[in-house]
């Protein structure tokens, strides 16, 4: 766990804890913040005396201090009531408060840095509790001496205000001296200025080093939404930059706007702007605060070798393109300008990039991203803006396209298709050719008031394009939002589907075509949603792979299907079960153990199981997949290539992987009696299987004519509605009991 816990963050923690005058609330907030920062499950404050356990989170409130306090002394592994063993950490609240802040989590030990962070939190909490108790005492005194207490409180507030200013400026100076990221320092300045000016909206506006005439809103605090209102900061900032001094404007309702210049090595480089200030406050005092923070920003910018630092804050260091922040800033600026007509955004996501990164290494992945950015730029016009949003995602901003939206979309589609064609061409990476693709979504400014909305629409369209296949371009339509929302809801429901018992297995019998003998069955996963009913696998399986749930669900499928075949084999020894597995499962470090555990649990040999793979194994992590599959083969498990003939790499499966069986895709079987081309392809696969001593399975046999053709070709196995439909495993027991000659009628024609 990487931590960046600064003085500023401890100050924020102190502010949050001290925000309530109630000690119990302060303790609860402190514990919750500590658990969130440390990814812990259990936390509490243990106070001496009768106070006992306070703010207990993660355990029943009935747990006593006598049960907790001994657990957090001594070894780092603690024994907690009801929870059992966990990793613990504790820190004292300071000399004034006799107690300690304790946390525990189940998975990982606490690092030295995390314990130091906890120590800082505990000290801050102790200080806050001491202050709260002092304030409580002061309130009691105020009841006895009302006038004296009121004067004392006013003095205390004045001291606090000055102390807050000093603490804020000190934390910023420390952040600068520690060389914290420039953006963190700038955000700390705007946030601190906003808090000391009564939560006034604050923005820092800087000149773009690459385009000095263009002003960037580099940081803002409590700024009103939508973000497009940033022009309210640019105009006074430009005035302060030109005047090289603080300027003050009065609004139509009497509110004030203050803008003070900031400098880099003595040269004006931007302005700090505050809007909506109360005109009844002394303007001179506000101007003084703004000037103080402006000096802090000038110090931070100058110390950070400013021009380059600002440029890096808005540029992707790998490709040199603008980053997401700069892209959204520019798009917001355009959307605010009524003089600019149609604007179009392209959202580009690379296909199969992860497989390159995983198989060739991150250096090769970086080389590929840089090459992709060059090809994207080559497809654009002068004035168009390309950006890298992060990972393998890019965006393009097209300005000055046709005024009519329909024509603008056509022009954008042409640009997107050029990009898709260029990205599909092979790249030379790490001395070898690499093939990837792209999925591109398009969105216009229609119904969009903020850059985030427009980019989000393009993102939604990109996901639709990705589902349609690599190299696709899709234009956003409003109904896509409903589809995306439904997909997100489905994704959330999937999180609990397994625990709720909503999954079940159907099976489809597998028949030996030459004799009609029952060979086994293929396990088919079904999801019965409590509201939606039966959800098709093509809707939920991709989501399980995206979220990683496929590994957990796959373990359940293995154990359940092997338990079924164990029962069948008592009636008919030698029956097998086929289970589909995804590429993500196969490269999972636990997969080999999962298969072995499922076999041992069911008490069946490895030969009772056939794992069906698709060609995506080759495009994910072939080295790890091959290692895992060889280990699984040592248990006697059989491997089958599913959907054989539909992918470019199917033949390479037979060369690289220790397969036992190929399954001809139903799309070819359906044409075996009506298409000479499909007939020839199926025959070629059967002959190839015979030559390589592989079993061949025909999927999707729908009628007697197809069955006859496959029998004449001497295809080994088959399945389909003409033989048996998918069924409940309990009904499969009845199929086992059928007399073998009556199972199917074999016609050799």
- Is 170 a member of any domain? no
Q: Which residue has the higher pLDDT, 695 or 495?
A: 695
Residues 250 and 356 in one domain: no
- Is 735 a member of any domain? no
Residues 349 and 263 in one domain: no
Query: CB within 8 A of 24, min separation 6: which ones?
Result: 54, 55
Residues 21 and 78 in one domain: yes
Q: For the domain that residue 695 is a member of, what is the CATH number?
A: 3.20.20.450
Share of the chain above pLDDT 90, in %: 22
- Is 270 a member of any domain? yes
Q: How many Å apart are CA 258 and CA 463, to the nearest integer?
A: 44
- Please identify, among 102, 127, 144, the residue that sits at the C-terminal boundary of a domain: 144
Contact 507, 726 (CB under 8 A): yes
Residues 639 and 623 in one domain: yes
What pLDDT was estimated at residue 686?
A: 92
- Local confidence band at 318 (pLDDT 50, 70, 90 cut-offs): confident
3-state secondary structure of 608: helix
Tell me the range of 101-105, 192-196, 466-470, 561-565 where mean pLDDT is highest.
561-565
- Local confidence band at 279 (pLDDT 50, 70, 90 cut-offs): low
What pLDDT was estimated at residue 722?
A: 92
Q: Which residue has the higher pLDDT, 265 or 5?
A: 265
Q: Which residue has the higher pLDDT, 362 or 304?
A: 362
Residues 574 and 608 in one domain: yes
Query: Looking at the predicted structure, is the pLDDT value of residue 4 above 70?
Result: no
- Local confidence band at 2 (pLDDT 50, 70, 90 cut-offs): very low
What pLDDT was estimated at residue 520?
A: 93
- Please identify, among 438, 454, 477, the residue that sits at the C-terminal boundary of a domain: 477
Query: Looking at the predicted structure, is the pLDDT value of residue 239 above 80?
Result: yes
- Local confidence band at 651 (pLDDT 50, 70, 90 cut-offs): low
Query: Looking at the predicted structure, is the pLDDT value of residue 330 above 50?
Result: yes
Q: Which residue has the higher pLDDT, 382 or 613?
A: 613
What pLDDT was estimated at residue 653?
A: 59
Query: CB within 8 A of 537, min separation 6: which ones?
Result: 524, 525, 526, 527
User: Which candidate, 238, 227, 457, 218, places its Cα nearest to that of 333?
Assistant: 227
Number of domains in the chain: 4
Enclosing domain of residue 187: 175-313
- Please identify, among 144, 166, 189, the residue that sits at the C-terminal boundary of a domain: 144
Residues 509 and 470 in one domain: no
User: Where is average pLDDT lowest: 161-165, 266-270, 452-456, 599-603?
Assistant: 161-165
What pLDDT was estimated at residue 1?
A: 44
What pLDDT was estimated at residue 692?
A: 87
- Local confidence band at 648 (pLDDT 50, 70, 90 cut-offs): very low
Query: Looking at the predicted structure, is the pLDDT value of residue 574 above 60?
Result: yes
- Is 164 a member of any domain? no
Residues 535 and 472 in one domain: no
> For the segment 482-531, what is each residue's pLDDT rounded down to a tens digit?
777 777 777 788 888 888 898 999 999 999 998 888 999 999 999 998 88
Q: For the domain that residue 39 is a member of, what is the CATH number?
A: 3.30.450.40
Q: For the domain that residue 451 is a member of, what is the CATH number?
A: 3.30.70.270
Residues 328 and 308 in one domain: no
> For the segment 400-443, what is each residue's pLDDT rounded down to a tens digit?
665 677 788 888 899 999 999 999 898 888 788 888 889 999 99
> For the segment 393-411, what is each residue's pLDDT rounded down to a tens digit?
999 998 766 567 778 888 8
The secondary structure element, H or E, covering residue 574 is: none
For strands 427-429 and 432-434, give the pairing. Answer: antiparallel
- Is 264 a member of any domain? yes
Residues 213 and 229 in one domain: yes
- Is 739 a member of any domain? no
What pLDDT was estimated at residue 618?
A: 58
Q: What's the whole-number mean pLDDT along residues 696-715?
A: 93
Q: How many Å apart are CA 667 and CA 601, to the nearest integer?
A: 37
Structure tokens at 550: 């496929």
Query: Looking at the predicted structure, is the pLDDT value of residue 747 above 50?
Result: no
- Is 249 a member of any domain? yes
Residues 306 and 328 in one domain: no
3-state secondary structure of 651: helix
Please report, for residues 82, 154, 504, 638, 661, the alpha-carbon distance to residue 562 in angstroms, rounded to integers and kept in the order given. 35, 76, 14, 14, 19
Residues 425 and 501 in one domain: no
Query: Looking at the predicted structure, is the pLDDT value of residue 635 above 70?
Result: yes
> For the segment 26-36, what is each residue's pLDDT rounded down to a tens digit?
899 999 988 88
> For the segment 153-200, what is each residue's pLDDT rounded down to a tens digit?
655 555 565 566 656 666 766 666 666 667 777 777 788 778 777 778
**What does the mean pLDDT of the chain come to?**
81
10 Å Cβ neighbour count for 476? 25
Q: What's the whole-number mean pLDDT along residues 255-263?
A: 84
Query: Looking at the predicted structure, is the pLDDT value of residue 56 above 50?
Result: yes
What pLDDT was estimated at residue 716?
A: 94
Residues 449 and 526 in one domain: no
Q: What's the whole-number mean pLDDT along residues 291-305?
A: 69
pTM higher than the cut 0.75: no
Query: Looking at the predicted structure, is the pLDDT value of residue 282 above 70?
Result: no
Q: How many Å apart are CA 703 and CA 286, to the nearest integer?
A: 85
- Is 151 a member of any domain? no
Bin 357: left if φ > 0, else alpha if -120 < ψ < 50, else beta.
alpha
């Amino acid at each position: 766990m990487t931590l960046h816990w600064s003085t500023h963050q401890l100050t924020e923690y102190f502010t949050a804890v001290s925000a309530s005058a109630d000690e119990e609330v302060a303790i609860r907030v402190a514990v919750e913040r500590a658990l969130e920062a440390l990814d812990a499950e259990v936390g509490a404050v243990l106070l001496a005396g009768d106070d006992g356990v306070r703010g207990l989170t993660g355990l029943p409130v009935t747990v006593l201090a006598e049960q907790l306090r001994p657990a957090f002394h001594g070894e780092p592994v603690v024994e907690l009531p009801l929870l059992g063993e966990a990793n613990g950490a504790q820190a004292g609240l300071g000399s004034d408060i006799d107690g300690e802040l304790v946390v525990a989590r189940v998975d990982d030990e606490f690092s030295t840095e995390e314990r130091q962070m906890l120590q800082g939190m505990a000290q801050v909490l102790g200080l806050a509790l001491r202050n709260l108790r002092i304030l409580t005492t002061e309130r009691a005194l105020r009841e006895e001496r009302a006038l004296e207490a009121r004067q004392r409180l006013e003095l205390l507030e004045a001291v606090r205000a000055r102390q807050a200013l000093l603490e804020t400026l000190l934390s910023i100076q420390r952040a600068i001296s520690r060389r914290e990221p420039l953006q963190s320092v700038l955000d700390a300045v705007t946030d601190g200025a906003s808090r000391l000016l009564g939560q006034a909206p604050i923005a820092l506006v800087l000149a773009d080093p690459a385009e000095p005439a263009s002003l960037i809103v580099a940081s803002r605090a409590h700024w009103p939404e939508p973000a497009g209102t940033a022009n309210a900061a640019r105009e006074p900032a430009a005035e302060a930059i030109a005047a090289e001094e603080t300027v003050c404007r009065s609004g139509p309702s009497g509110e004030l706007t203050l803008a003070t210049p900031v400098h880099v090595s003595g040269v004006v480089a931007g302005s700090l702007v505050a809007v909506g200030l109360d005109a009844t406050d002394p303007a001179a005092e506000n101007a003084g605060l703004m000037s103080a923070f402006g000096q802090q920003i000038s110090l931070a910018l100058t110390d950070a070798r400013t021009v380059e630092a600002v440029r890096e804050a808005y540029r992707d260091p790998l490709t040199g393109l603008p980053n997401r922040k700069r892209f959204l800033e520019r798009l917001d600026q355009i959307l605010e300008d009524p003089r600019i007509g149609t604007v179009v955004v392209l959202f580009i996501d690379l296909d199969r990039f992860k497989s390159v990164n995983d198989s060739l290494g991150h250096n090769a992945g970086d080389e590929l991203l840089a090459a992709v950015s060059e090809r994207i730029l080559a497809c654009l016009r002068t004035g168009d803006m390309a950006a890298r949003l992060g990972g393998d995602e890019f965006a393009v901003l097209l300005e000055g396209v046709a005024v009519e939206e329909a024509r603008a979309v056509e022009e954008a589609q042409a640009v997107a298709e050029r990009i898709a064609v260029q990205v599909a061409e092979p790249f030379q990476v790490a001395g070898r050719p690499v093939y990837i693709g792209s999925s591109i979504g398009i969105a216009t400014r229609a119904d969009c008031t903020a850059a985030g909305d427009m980019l989000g629409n393009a993102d939604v369209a990109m996901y639709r394009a990705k589902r349609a296949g690599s190299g696709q371009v899709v234009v956003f339509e409003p109904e896509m939002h409903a589809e995306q929302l439904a997909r997100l809801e489905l994704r959330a429901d999937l999180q609990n589907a397994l625990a709720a018992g909503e999954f079940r297995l159907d099976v489809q019998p597998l028949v030996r075509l030459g004799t009609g003998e029952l060979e086994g069955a293929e396990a088919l996963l079904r999801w019965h949603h409590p509201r939606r009913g039966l959800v098709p696998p093509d809707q939920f399986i991709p989501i399980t792979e995206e979220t990683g749930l496929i590994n957990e669900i796959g373990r359940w499928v293995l154990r359940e299907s092997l338990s079924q075949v164990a029962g069948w084999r008592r009636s008919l020894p030698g029956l097998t079960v086929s289970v589909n597995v995804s590429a993500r499962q196969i490269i999972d470090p636990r997969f080999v153990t999962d298969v072995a555990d499922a076999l041992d649990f069911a008490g069946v040999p490895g030969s009772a199981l056939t794992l069906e793979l698709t060609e995506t194994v080759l495009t994910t992590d072939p080295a790890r997949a091959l290692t895992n599959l060889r280990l699984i083969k040592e248990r006697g498990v059989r491997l089958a290539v599913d959907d054989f003939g539909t992918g470019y790499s199917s033949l390479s499966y037979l060369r690289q992987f220790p397969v036992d069986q190929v399954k001809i895709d139903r799309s070819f079987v359906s044409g075996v009696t009506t298409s000479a081309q499909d007939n020839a392809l199926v025959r070629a696969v059967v002959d190839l299987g015979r030559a390589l001593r592989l079993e061949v399975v025909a999927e999707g046999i729908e009628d007697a004519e197809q069955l006859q053709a496959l029998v004449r070709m001497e295809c080994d196995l088959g399945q389909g509605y003409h033989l048996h439909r998918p069924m409940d495993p309990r009904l499969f027991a009845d199929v086992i009991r059928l007399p073998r000659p009556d199972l199917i009628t074999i016609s050799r024609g």
